[in-house]
Chain A
Amino acid sequence: MMQKDIKRLSLILLFAPFALWIFLLIVLPHLGMFYISVREKVGPRMYEFGLGNYINFFAEPIYWNTLIRTGSMSLLVTALALLLGFPIAYYIAKIAGNRTRGALFLMCLIPLWVSDLIRAFGWILLLRETGIISSSLQWAGVINTPIEFLYNDAAVIMGLVYTVILFMIVPLVSTLDGMDNSMIEAGYNLGGNGPTVLRRIIIPYAMPGIVSGCIVVFMLTAGSYLTPILLGGKNSSWFTEQIYDQFITRYNWESGAAFGFLLLAFTSLVVWGGLKLSGQTLNSTVAKS
């Protein structure tokens, strides 16, 4: 009896910090945001309950276009991060020796030691019209007039992939690490060639890592603010910028809060859709890897 109580107490104590964190920093602010988002402003310091802020979003094509644009560019970033991250992760987990593995991991980590802002400025120095790439191409005689690489969507995507790729590599390495090499050997012994082994053995095995990496990367990208703002050009709108504008420039917290919820709903929907399409569940992926 006594033992049981102690067990329960320790469980509660272990759980308490997590519960407090979730409740105070996640649930409570979201409730506050939700409350603001269903207030409609009818005059100075006068508010009414209503869904007007949400209706406004759907009535104004600029808003949902930006959201769709943000969503599709985030998907592209996720796909590129997977494409680039998978070989790196495979090399680290399966091919590299024990000693080089640590060094390689470290090299992937190093860019994260400086802040997003500094990394964005690094890209700006490289890509701008009078920047390093443009001027060295000129010096090498490849081009005659300076080229502007900055201020377009390609720069945004490149910057974002660079920022998030680590979050793809880490879960992939940990799942691939757990894979027995003899499975790959067996695949070859049974007459499979490289692509077949990759498609039928490695990818299915790595699926939990792939899915959880994709979820994290997609969420991070869709919610990022600095990189799209700094590297983007005249036409590159990003949904988080829209939210910032509503809150700060337009003093319109009500619709900013509604936009925040719409972004949350939209990204959740995309993740849910992705899980359904790939036949995975949260339990078999994120919770596992």
Chain B
Amino acid sequence: MIMKLAMAGLLATTVMAVVPAQAETLRLLTWGSYAPDELVKKFEEKYPDITVEVTFSNNEEMIAKLRATGGAGFDLAQPSHDRIYAVQQEYNIYKPLDLSKINTDVMQDKLLEGVKANTTIDGEVYAVPHQWGTSGLMANKTMAPDVKAWGDLCDPQYKGKTSMRLKRTILLGMAFDMGEDPFAAYADLDKYQSILDKVADKLIACKDNLKAYWKGGDDLSAMMMSGEIVASETWDSTAYKLYGENKDIVFVPPKTGALAWIDTFAIPRKGEADDAAYKWINFVLEPENVKIMSASTGAIAAVEGGKDLLPDDKKAAVNAAFTDADIDNLKFFANIPAGVEDMEGKTLEKIKAATGSE
């Protein structure tokens, strides 16, 4: 009896070990909502021999995960375009893309060229664009009609009713607001440090004006929907979602320009399912799939006419937020050179630790 059980157990383990080897697994490391169930199901129907496993994360955690394993454990990652170049030089966690396997024709030229220029090392391209969006401001029009610039979050008339995320975005936004060009200063880190110091002083003085720092889309949404805050720094997609529920809450591109990011596709260095990864990239860029994706993420796909593929409510939100002039004014995040994360991290710590006037 025991023998039989042991045999059965042995059989079971062998079977389990064999199955995944036959069917390929695509281990996707991406942002929350970037792999909607509907799309995953559709993909698995189209390619029955591929199973998709999704891990949701953010830029920093994606890089930390891949760094811990030297680029193993995942087959396709989606960091933002500014998180490829220095990270690759420092930690060597991605592998070059084979562009002939990617349907680059459908991608919007300007974004494709921009990402390629940002992520080419020794003539090899490490990433192609997937979706883009912006960070800017969100305001409740009825209660805070005058919020137009990053600095307005520190306007005393909204005391205790504004919020921001204490991350690098607000440092950069505030720097632009103070008439600096932080991206240009990346070339001269001493200059960048002096900008950061100025920004830190401003944000420490501003601390008293804030209700709290938001930490994720959920707590930001809750504070905004309940009216506890009237204006905040935000991701555009969060603002679009709230616009769907309350037409008074709109995304406001700051007058110095909304900060634009492009999330990309990059293949980890020890990825084991490159073909499946390329299939996924091409699959999600097909127009009907872009629609499903954009409905889930609220971001605009980096394909020609990407804006028109947004669902109607999101399109209305984008049109309510952006004029063509705003689009021209976008500031795309520049490549983060090595060392800048540390400088920014120190500045953020300084701001968090300052007790302000409380």
**Chain A residues near B (Cβ < 8 Å):** 44-45, 62, 65-66, 124, 128-130, 148, 150-151, 229-230, 233-235, 237, 242, 245-253
Query: Are A62 and B64 in contact, CB atoms less than 8 angstroms apart?
Result: no
| Closest A-B pairs by Cβ, 4 of them | A250-B345, A130-B226, A151-B212, A62-B353
- Contact flag A65-B228 (CB < 8 Å), given A44-B338, A234-B207: no
Q: Which residues of A contact B227 (CB under 8 A)?
A: 130
Q: Mark B78-120, 1 if CB is under 8 A from A, else 0.
A: 0000000001011110000000000000000000000000000
Query: Are A245 and B345 in contact, CB atoms less than 8 angstroms apart?
Result: yes
Query: Are B228 and A44 in contact, CB atoms less than 8 angstroms apart?
Result: no
Query: Are B60 and A248 in contact, CB atoms less than 8 angstroms apart?
Result: yes
Q: Which residues of A contact B215 (CB under 8 A)?
A: 229-230
User: Closest residue to A250 on the B side, CB-wise?
Assistant: B345
Query: Are A62 and B228 in contact, CB atoms less than 8 angstroms apart?
Result: no
User: Closest residue to B87 on the A side, CB-wise?
Assistant: A251
Q: Which residues of A contact B338 (CB under 8 A)?
A: 44
B307 within 8 A of A: no
B63 within 8 A of A: yes
Query: Are A251 and B64 in contact, CB atoms less than 8 angstroms apart?
Result: yes
**Chain B residues near A (Cβ < 8 Å):** 60-61, 63-64, 67, 87, 89-92, 167, 207, 210-213, 215, 219, 222, 226-228, 338, 341-342, 345, 348-350, 352-356, 358
Choose among A44, A66, A251 the residue with the greatest number of B CB atoms under 10 Å from its CB. Answer: A251
Query: Are A66 and B353 in contact, CB atoms less than 8 angstroms apart?
Result: yes
Q: Which residues of B contact A44 (CB under 8 A)?
A: 89-90, 338
User: Closest residue to B354 on the A side, CB-wise?
Assistant: A235
Q: Which residues of B contact A235 (CB under 8 A)?
A: 207, 352-356, 358
Q: Which residues of A contact B64 (CB under 8 A)?
A: 247-248, 251
Given contacts A45-B90, A234-B356, 19 further A-B contacts (CB under 8 A): A44-B89, A44-B90, A45-B92, A62-B349, A124-B219, A128-B228, A129-B226, A130-B227, A151-B212, A234-B212, A234-B352, A242-B349, A245-B349, A247-B64, A248-B61, A251-B60, A251-B63, A251-B90, A251-B341
Q: Which residues of A contact B353 (CB under 8 A)?
A: 62, 65-66, 235, 237
Chain B facing A: main interface SS = helix
Query: Are B228 and A129 in contact, CB atoms less than 8 angstroms apart?
Result: yes
Min distance, Cβ B209 to any Cβ of chain A, angstroms:
10
User: Closest residue to B166 on the A side, CB-wise?
Assistant: A234
What are 6 A-B contacts with C-beta separation under 8 Å? Answer: A129-B226, A233-B212, A247-B64, A249-B348, A251-B63, A251-B87
Query: Are B342 and A250 in contact, CB atoms less than 8 angstroms apart?
Result: yes
Min distance, Cβ A251 to any Cβ of chain B, angstroms:
6
Alpha-carbon separation in the docked complex, A45 to B91 (Å):
7
Choose among B213, B219, B352, B354 the residue with the greatest number of A CB atoms under 10 Å from its CB. Answer: B352
Alpha-carbon separation in the docked complex, A253 to B342 (Å):
11
Alpha-carbon separation in the docked complex, A130 to B226 (Å):
7
User: Closest residue to B163 on the A side, CB-wise?
Assistant: A234
Min distance, Cβ B218 to any Cβ of chain A, angstroms:
9
Alpha-carbon separation in the docked complex, A235 to B67 (Å):
31
Min distance, Cβ B121 to any Cβ of chain A, angstroms:
12
Alpha-carbon separation in the docked complex, A252 to B340 (Å):
12
Q: Which residues of B contact A245 (CB under 8 A)?
A: 345, 348-349
Alpha-carbon separation in the docked complex, A128 to B341 (Å):
33
Q: Which residues of B contact A247 (CB under 8 A)?
A: 64
Query: Are B342 and A252 in contact, CB atoms less than 8 angstroms apart?
Result: yes
User: Closest residue to A130 on the B side, CB-wise?
Assistant: B226
User: Closest residue to B68 on the A side, CB-wise?
Assistant: A253
Choose among A151, A245, A250 the residue with the greatest number of B CB atoms under 10 Å from its CB. Answer: A250
Min distance, Cβ B298 to any Cβ of chain A, angstroms:
23
User: Closest residue to B351 on the A side, CB-wise?
Assistant: A234
Q: Which residues of A contact B167 (CB under 8 A)?
A: 249
Alpha-carbon separation in the docked complex, A151 to B91 (Å):
37
User: Closest residue to A69 on the B side, CB-wise?
Assistant: B353
Q: Which residues of A contact B356 (CB under 8 A)?
A: 234-235
Alpha-carbon separation in the docked complex, A124 to B90 (Å):
40
Alpha-carbon separation in the docked complex, A6 to B214 (Å):
62
- Contact flag A250-B341 (CB < 8 Å), given A130-B226, A235-B352: yes
Q: Which residues of A contact B92 (CB under 8 A)?
A: 45
Min distance, Cβ B96 to any Cβ of chain A, angstroms:
18
Alpha-carbon separation in the docked complex, A79 to B91 (Å):
45
Query: Are B345 and A252 in contact, CB atoms less than 8 angstroms apart?
Result: yes
Choose among B63, B87, B345 the residue with the greatest number of A CB atoms under 10 Å from its CB. Answer: B345
